Structure 1
């Protein structure tokens, strides 16, 4: 009994040390790989969302220039300038400027040509339209987090400043004084009245040949369309816009001879925009 007593005393002395060692080991447990990965992923997600939010806030707006084709023009119908502000994610105000050439849908090329040159039969005026406009675009479908295209609806309006430019043709006629053939550019209306004597139309003149005799045709327009914003790199901007425009002029505008002049012209358009966000 005397020999066992020291062993019990020794056990009692060691028990507090063992308990302290067990507690310290439990508090300093190592983190598992899964927990480490989850923390890293959450950190990366938060940083990615913060980056995306910062990039969205950093893009205050867009500047873009567009090339357009319309149902009342050739392949190249005109140019467009546009600026938008990203004050709201659902809708953004826009301002723009369109410069387009509008033709009458009844225009046709004369079957008579001279050395491959042609002209528009019965055309009296070219109609150049400048459209300053203000409007709004609404976000219909946003881009996904992995990229892709966004769809926006557009509604804009503003004045239509029409310029009626006399349509010029090049004519060839014989000078009775010298007997030489002379070629000059005259308005098509003069070729119909034979003011230059016996003349032959050999082709159309320059588009701005009659700019000095142009007349203003004021009006108003309304534009509606859809804009497909394409996925781009960095701050580049690309979009494809399709829509419909109605121009209403104060007075009827005469474009073709022997056709009733009209005050209302409707146009379908397709515009390719490219520019930058800032």
Structure 2
């Protein structure tokens, strides 16, 4: 399941990098940008995330011509490729089968944006090539379930050991495991294209691209499944913002 996905991401990455490099070469000879700073925030969805992947914040500052330096932060939830949800017949609630930990990921990124197609000042679409990377801070938190055991009904970490599946009543609270979290440091890098729409200085941005992320240790997300250190993905981000 993971191998075909990685192949698709690699093909997409090569196509994206080839297109972006050609566009950047063309853009360097064109007139400079008509603004100096930009701030956007939005939501992101990746091939290794849930329906809502996470949140994105990015600040851009003109360096020269059509080139901007960017500072960004992303907070996302990473899923295991074999993660599935199952409904419990005893309560109708659903849990993530075999899940032992959530992997929340804080990405800090520094990069470069290149305007490869400049829109008119008050209309049209602008296309930017985006390259960024930086440190990742993985926050590994235990997955809790509502369990009816020998001590009565309580919310406990799902370990699979000596737990009767029929006694699981549902999931615990989303951030219940945060006090027991451990940190997994890593690195990330991405390349993408951003399509900016908007009149005057208000922005609506659609960004799509590929990312590679590597943690310095294997991270357990599902019990009895392969632990991964690398997490390649393709992503799409919808964001709003303004420029000056």
- Aligning the two structures, in what range does the TM-score lie when normalised by the shorter sequence? 0.7 to 0.9
> Retained in 2: the 8 A contact 1:92–1:136?
yes
Please tell me whether Structure 1 or Structure 2 has the larger radius of gyration of its CA atoms.
Answer: 1
Q: What is the rounded CA distance, in whole Å, between the counterparts of 1:68 and 1:142 in structure 2? A: 24
1:198 and 1:254 map into 2 onto residues whose CA distance is: 20
Unaligned runs of 5+ in 2: 1-30
Relative to its length, the structure with more strand (as a share) is 2
Name whichever structure is richer in helix by fraction.
1
Contact 1:66 1:81 in 2 (8 A): yes
Rounded Cα–Cα distance in structure 2 between residues aligned with 1:98 and 1:114? 38
Partner of 1:183: 153
- Which residue matches 2:212? 246
| Matches for 1:207-246 after TM superposition, within 5 Å | 207-230=174-197, 232-246=198-212
**Equivalent residue, structure 1, for 2:101:** 125
C-alpha distance in 2 between matches for 1:110 and 1:160:
31
Q: Following TM superposition, by how much is the alpha carbon of 1:112 offset from its aligned partner in structure 2, in angstroms? A: 3.2
8 Å CA contact 1:172–1:199 kept in 2: the answer is: no
Greater mean alpha carbon deviation, residues 144-153 or residues 72-81: 144-153
Contact 1:174-1:199 within 8 A present in 2 as well: no
1:193 lines up with 2:169 in the alignment? no
Write the distance in 2 (CA, Å) between the matches of 1:76 and 1:146: 31
CA shift for structure 1 position 116: 2.2
How far apart, CA to CA, are the structure 1 residues paired with 2:210 and 2:219?
A: 20
Q: Distance in 2 between matches of 1:262 and 1:198?
A: 26
| CA 1:113–1:79: 2 relative to 1, 3 Å | farther
> How far does the alpha carbon of each residue in 1:200-224 deviate from its partner, in whole angstroms, 9 at most, with x for none?
0111111211111110000101111
The question of 1:100 aligning with 2:67 is answered no
Q: Mind listing any 5+ residue stretches in structure 1 that lack a counterpart?
A: 1-52, 176-181
Is the contact made by 1:174 and 1:198 (CA closer than 8 Å) also made in structure 2? no
Q: In 1, are the aligned partners of 2:218 and 2:229 still within 8 Å (CA)?
A: yes
**What CA distance in whole angstroms lies between the structure 2 residues aligned with 1:215 and 1:200?**
28
Q: What's the secondary structure of 2:95's corresponding residue?
A: coil
RCO (CA 8 Å, sep 6+): is it higher in 1 or 2? 2
Deviations 1:159-187 (A, max 9, x none): 01001100111112365xxxxxx321100
Give the equivalent residue in structure 2 for 1:205.
172
Query: Counterpart in 1 of 2:58?
Result: 82
- Per-residue CA deviations over 1:88-125 (Å, capped at 9, x if unaligned) read 33211111000000001100112534432110111111
Match of residue 19 from structure 1: none
The alignment's C-alpha RMSD in Å is 2.1
Q: CA deviation at 1:79?
A: 0.3
Question: SS where residue 68 of structure 1 aligns?
Answer: strand
What's the counterpart of residue 223 of structure 2?
257
**Segments ≥4 residues shifted beyond 3 Å:** 111-114
TM-score for both structures, normalised by structure 2:
0.81
Between the aligned partners of 1:246 and 1:129, the Cα distance in structure 2 is 13
